Amino acid sequence: AARTARSLRRAFGGEVKDVVVRAVDHIDLTVNKGEVVGLVGESGCGKSTVGRMVAGIMPPSDGGVLFHGRDVATLAGADRTRAALQVQMIFQDPYASLNPRLRVADIVGEAPLVHALVTRGDWDGYVDAQLRRAGLDPAYKHRYPHQFSGGQRQRIGIARALAVQPEFLVCDEAVAALDVSIQAQILNLFMDLRAELNLTYLFISHDLGVVEHLSDRVVVMYLGRIMEEAPTDELFIHANHPYTQALLEEVPRIDRRKRQFTAIKGEIPSPLNPPPGCHFHPRCPHAMPVCREVAPVLREIAPGHRSACHLND
Ligand code: SF4
Ligand code: MG
């Protein structure tokens, strides 16, 4: 396993500067080397929290994150630095994470120099190569982030991530802020990079259409828990969980990418105070009395296909 997050539990940590920490409850997630795993769910389901824990930005309050079989929290010194560089995160809004006062060359080239991945003598060529790989013309490397379009800024963010030679990218809504035509270009870039660099991805999105396009396996989250997990084709043909089925109904079969799923009946309860039993029961058309009291266990219903629903009992 390239990276395993076992029994991640992010207890509600209160509000920090108006940013609510979303609760995640015992998530057991494995991403194998070279695999693309799509993590989907509505806003507030905890998928970004899982992404941050996997990327090492946020420590789990309980459980651990394993990378090549080792708990990253126990690593020290050079091992810790290497593990941190090997997993890079790509965010929805690259502009917010690009220093506006730095030129693109420095944004992309700073970390590799600090971590001695390149010498000063080779630096220019190295930066140019990262920019080209992300589809940017090195001729513009002396410009500042505000001089680029949204799609180009996302490419700068990607070039910066690639510059430290990661093997794992955690992409959190990485194309959500872009126009549909630009989205397709960036998604294609991610897939080209996968083939070229043998990258592993955790691809987080609220858009099932985006995830279908590029994932080998899909994990569906709802209010801090995994509801269903299956190889992508299996999930789209044999969705088991009523929540996944509802999500699929929201995605038109023809040109799925034009719509996003947001309109499932009923409001999403607060992730900070989820309903007892199956979290989905207030919105589920098949809810039974047991669903209000007992949380269903995620269990295998076919090879590689897991679902958490009492209908399978
Ligand atoms: Fe619906 Fe019950 Fe299954 Fe939850 S456990 S999805 S409420 S049928
Ligand atoms: Mg999010």
Q: How confident is the model at residue 97 (pLDDT cuts 50, 70, 90)?
A: confident
Pocket test for ligand 1, best of 221, 227, 283, 288 (most atoms within 8 A of CB): 288
245-270 average pLDDT score = 65
CA of 124 to the centre of ligand 1 (A): 57
Q: How far is CA 244 from the centre of its chain?
A: 18
The set of protein residues with a Cβ atom below 6 angstroms from ligand 1 is 241-242, 278, 280-281, 284, 286-288, 291, 296, 309-311
Q: Which two tokens stand for residue 94?
A: 């690259």
CATH number of the domain that 74 lies in? 3.40.50.300
CA of 257 to the centre of ligand 2 (A): 19
Q: How confident is the model at residue 65 (pLDDT cuts 50, 70, 90)?
A: confident
Q: How buried is residue 100: exposed, middle or buried, by Cβ count under 10 Å (0-12/13-18/19+)?
A: exposed
101-131 confidence digits (pLDDT tens): 999 999 999 999 999 999 999 999 999 999 9
Q: Whose CA is nearest to atom 3 of ligand 1?
A: 309
CA of 300 to the centre of ligand 2 (A): 27
Q: How confident is the model at residue 160 (pLDDT cuts 50, 70, 90)?
A: very high
CA distances to 120, 135, 216 from 190, rounded to whole Å, are 28, 11, 14
Q: How confident is the model at residue 17 (pLDDT cuts 50, 70, 90)?
A: very low
Q: What ipTM describes this predicted complex? A: 0.95
pLDDT of the residue at 203:
97
Full residue range of the structural domain in which residue 308 is found = 3-312
Greatest Cα-to-Cα distance within the chain, rounded to the nearest angstrom: 69
**Rounded distance between C-alpha atoms, residue 113 and residue 119, angstroms:** 7
- What is the total count of domains within the chain? 1
**Rounded distance between C-alpha atoms, residue 290 and residue 273, angstroms:** 19
Per-chain mean pLDDT for the chain: 87
